Amino acid sequence: MSSLIWDEVWKHSLSPDIHWFAEEFLHYLVNWSLDMRYLLFLEPGAGSGRFGYYLAKRTRRVVALDLSCSSVNRILDLGRESGGLLEVIRADILNMPFKDGAFDVVYNEGVVEHFPQPYPVLCEMVRVTRKLGIVIFSVPNIFSFHTFGKLMRSGSISISKPYGFERSFHKSDVYGMLQLLGLRNIEVHGIGLFYGVARYMPFPVYRLLYRAYIRLRNTRLGLLLGEFAGFQIVGKGEKR
């Protein structure tokens, strides 16, 4: 995955704000890692650094890793604001400079889908996770409007500009990858109802859909729709 593409992205998309599907990703990340055994976090492919910043402000120690210079520079600023609990390193996600089992929780959002072969990325994430630690990641949902939009623009569900290569996944794909990695206590969920539609709409429509999402997201209907047709799929597994 070229760092040049992401240098441009993070040069202009630097807000640490967390909203919409990111709120739900964070919900699962926090709930799955509440146990005080989980103190040291790694976010490979940290991007804007928003999740690491949130965790660091709440006393978790986080190491952010990214190959993009723009991302690293931004996270350096966030690290200074977080009281020293958020660190950042520039490195390749496929060859991370950490010993085996170095971290309690290894997570990322919107990273794995940008690799034509996702399994080596996930294997490296598992390698640096300690025994009984957890691995968490999220990827685009094949049943979301986001995937339909890619298909309409390019004729393929696996290409998306300006982010280079990107593919979408079924919930069974995510579950299967977590099983193949030898993880246990697996959970997989859909997140981000309506976001796949809203991101293509004018801002007034975007706001209306967000309000509808806020009202629906914790209802039985909202949870059902999100599980099936949410923008992303989030999964986690525990290392044996």
End-to-end CA distance of the chain: 29
Percent of the chain clearing pLDDT 70 (strictly above): 90
**DSSP state string for 95-160:** S-SS-TT-EEEEEEES-GGGSSSHHHHHHHHHHTEEEEEEEEEEEEBTTSHHHHHHHHHHS-SSB-
Q: What is the mean pLDDT of residues 86-100?
A: 97
pLDDT band at 17 (very low <50, low <70, confident <90, very high): confident
Q: For the chain, list the domains and their CATH numbers.
A: 3-238 (3.40.50.150)
pLDDT at res. 151: 65
Amino acid at 45: G
pLDDT of 151-162, one tens digit each?
Answer: 666 555 555 556
pLDDT band at 84 (very low <50, low <70, confident <90, very high): confident
- 162: helix, coil or strand? coil
Q: Which of 56, 105, 107, 103 is nearest to 79 (CA)?
A: 56
pLDDT band at 190 (very low <50, low <70, confident <90, very high): very high
pLDDT value at 90 more than 60:
yes
Question: Please, what is the Cα angle at 176 between 232 and 39, to 5 degrees?
Answer: 70
Residue 24 is given by DSSP the state H
